[in-house]
Chain A
Amino acid sequence: MIQPDRIVTTTCPYCGVGCNLHLHIKDDLVYKVTSPFDSPSNHGNLCVKGRFGYDFIHSMDRLTKPSMRKDDKLIPASWDKAMGHVAERLLEIREKYGPDSIGFLVSAKCTNEENYLMQKVARGLIGTNNVDHCARL
């Protein structure tokens, strides 16, 4: 039987039930997922997605490099160049059309901390309340 290098306790990324997970890791691969029986929301139960739906983490399609559009194609770019361009363009657009010409979609998939900081960028730096996400959808 495979012995895990480590077991990490975390929260399921699928629906809103918030099942607790034990990710069993070997050689940096999630090879098995279980749930502790004392978990408050799911008492050790998991659905088929929660137990088996993790190949996506290791997918070859995962994005690993920033890219920028050039001649209608996305071309790999350095972080410095990509981020510099984003900051520059957002400020240009703000200057030309005003703060409310920019919108931010935060994410029901991302963490609380990430969502908080993204709306902080929108409200505290750009100066717009155009912040929403797919809760309505």
Chain B
Amino acid sequence: MTNSISDIHLADVLLVTGSNTTEAHPVISLEMKKAVRKRGAKLILIDPREIELSNFAAIHLRPRSGTDIALLNAMTHVIIADGLAKKDFIEARTENFDALADAVKDCTPQWAEDITGIPAEMIVEAAHVYGQARSAAIFWAMGITQSSHGTDNVQALANLALLTGNFGKPGSGVNPLRGQNNVQGACDMGGLPNVLTGYQSVTDESIRVKFETAWKSSVKIPAKPGLTVTELMNGALNGSIKALYIMGENPFLSDPNMNHVREALHALEFLVVQDIFLNETAQLADVVLPATSFAEKEGTFTNTERRIQRVRAALPIKGEARRDLDIICDLGERIAKRINGFGKRIYEADVIHSVMDWNYTDASAVWDEIAALTPTMSGISYERLDRAGIQWPCPTANHPGTPILHKEKFTRGLGRFTPLIFREPVENPDDEYPFVLNTGRVLQHWHGGTISRRSAGLNWVVPEGEIQINADDGVELGIATGDTIRVSSRRGEAIGKARLTDKLPRGMVFMNFHFAEMPTNALTNDAVDPVAKIPEYKVAAVKIERV
């Protein structure tokens, strides 16, 4: 998020798209409702489904799945055509405006109506409400990013905010809601194929040398970015990836096109899984290492507003399990020693330092190393975090942290408008597979269900998955709520109980992905966005039938 959770209630207009906030980020939805109820903020909701936030929305736009760019380009068109663009902000802080204006010249509301199914006058109204706000904040989640044009979607939202000067002030900005407790931190820490900590690029030689020197790294860090999750799975299948070390993830259940993932994991020569449960992926492993839960270890998580917060050990470790930190250090030490001992045999040409040190006194010592190598976090220490979390960037020990990004200038200097062209999703419904599958969460469960389904109260409220279909479609097909139905796509099938609802548009099937026995990701499409490599989970063509 460019902004903070605590300034959501200061927005005059909230634009929420591709986020069922009340179910997936319930506590943030409270702030949104507060803005609407207490301060009279207007909520523009963009979602094909009727969700709880619909009850709070001034305008609810329900586009056909995967047509976000048509809608957002048309809103951009209206804001420019009707003189609502903030000229002084565009002049002082942005570039490439003319290219954007040119790209949306023909994206009229009528054009967008034909593509999205949203009446043109509603598009105009939404653009006016957003464009006239003193401060407008945009929020999105996976409904925007899990698309074959997810990067375009995000850039289209950024265009809207740039166009209206909605950056660098309370109650504004572009705010992705991150789905997992430390997905922000895993990215910040270099858990990505192209960057080290704090998004320092592996392609920059001075950065690589800085890390190699500080680490006394055994080998050189390659200059070429590595493979993403989806590419690693493809690599396993085509034989270029031979071993995977998986820590605290369950790709078997969470990746798209499950049958493909199963084959990929089977094809590996060596699979290590470090986890707290024998999940579906761990069952295929060659070595399983028992780790510890958040309640048994020290460390930090970084939330969706970039706030780094302490995690503290509350309970003793179970049995012979070990803290993840200790497991990794043990592994590091063993490999480092072998490189030393067998250096001639194995590495010879590659070794640049003979001893890599893996002795850390505790998590705080690891953090100090991170801070020393990461300019955006160098002012953060456990001592400061013990008092309260800090939002990066925080470059010095007396810097208060950064609740709002891009106040005076953008990270790259000027904010750049990106002209975007509407493209259809990779797989639209057709005669053979006439329905569009949409996926998402329910409040009571979480991801593959590994932890939430082991919590009795949550499982009691929602014990099984369900397949939601539009009530009229159900009647037409002779399906009633509670019937067992089969959903199939070109990639696989899943069986579950049907629920008829009037909250879905006709032609849509909605499934959550929390239940291994109703494997939604056997159906989803592993076609990915060309830049972010995010799969198109939210649009797949399926058919349904009674079993």
Binding site for B on A (CB under 8 A): 6, 8-20, 23, 25, 28, 30, 40-42, 45-50, 52-57, 59, 61-69, 74, 77, 79, 82-91, 93-97, 99-121, 123-137
Q: Are A132 and B193 in contact (CB under 8 A)?
A: yes
What is the size category of the interface that chain B forms with chain A?
Answer: 35 or more
Query: CB-CB < 8 A to A104: which residues of B?
Result: 244-247
B99 in contact (CB, < 8 A)? no
B268 smallest CB distance to A (angstroms): 9
Main DSSP-derived SS at the A contact region: mixed
Per a CB cutoff under 8 Å, which of A52, A91, A102 touches B457? A52
Contacts between chains A and B (CB distance < 8 A), count: 449
Q: Are A125 and B226 in contact (CB under 8 A)?
A: no
Question: Which of B111-119, B160-168, B274-282, B404-412 faces chain A?
Answer: B274-282
Per a CB cutoff under 8 Å, which of B186, B193, B194, B219 touches A126? B219
Query: CB-CB < 8 A to B294: which residues of A?
Result: 10-11, 13, 109
Q: Are B324 and A121 in contact (CB under 8 A)?
A: no
B230 smallest CB distance to A (angstroms): 7
Query: CB-CB < 8 A to A68: which residues of B?
Result: 286-288
B35 smallest CB distance to A (angstroms): 14
Q: Are B388 and A40 in contact (CB under 8 A)?
A: yes
B119 smallest CB distance to A (angstroms): 34
Per a CB cutoff under 8 Å, which of B181, B212, B320 touches A13? B181
Q: Annotate B201-226 by CB proximity to A: 1 below 8 A, 0 otherwise.
A: 01000000001100101111110111
Across the interface, name the chain A residue whose C-beta is closest to B366: A113
Query: CB-CB < 8 A to B194: which residues of A?
Result: 129
Across the interface, name the chain B residue whose C-beta is closest to A107: B248
Most chain A beta-carbon contacts within 10 A, residue among B28, B177, B287, B324: B287
What are 24 A-to-B residue pairs whose CB atoms are below 8 Å?
A10-B314, A12-B181, A15-B181, A17-B5, A17-B28, A18-B301, A20-B309, A40-B6, A45-B30, A49-B452, A56-B455, A57-B295, A57-B315, A90-B270, A108-B249, A109-B248, A112-B186, A112-B301, A113-B325, A113-B363, A117-B329, A132-B192, A134-B254, A137-B251
CA distance A103 to B321 in the complex (A): 24
Per a CB cutoff under 8 Å, which of A16, A67, A97, A117 touches B181? A16
CA distance A53 to B79 in the complex (A): 45
Across the interface, name the chain B residue whose C-beta is closest to A78: B320
Query: CB-CB < 8 A to A45: which residues of B?
Result: 27, 30
B539 smallest CB distance to A (angstroms): 15
Q: Are B293 and A90 in contact (CB under 8 A)?
A: no
CA distance A107 to B475 in the complex (A): 43
Across the interface, name the chain A residue whose C-beta is closest to B230: A136
Question: Which of B37-45, B46-54, B422-430, B529-537 faces chain A?
Answer: B529-537
Query: CB-CB < 8 A to B286: which residues of A?
Result: 68-69, 89
Per a CB cutoff under 8 Å, which of B6, B246, B346 touches A94? B346
Q: Are A127 and B315 in contact (CB under 8 A)?
A: no
A128 smallest CB distance to B (angstroms): 6
Per a CB cutoff under 8 Å, which of A74, A114, A119, A121 touches B299? A114
B260 smallest CB distance to A (angstroms): 14
Query: CB-CB < 8 A to A130: which residues of B?
Result: 193, 226-227, 232, 241
Query: CB-CB < 8 A to B191: which residues of A?
Result: 106-107, 115, 118-119, 131-133, 135
Query: CB-CB < 8 A to A9: which residues of B?
Result: 310, 312
Q: Annotate B226-248 by CB proximity to A: 1 below 8 A, 0 otherwise.
A: 11111010010000111111111
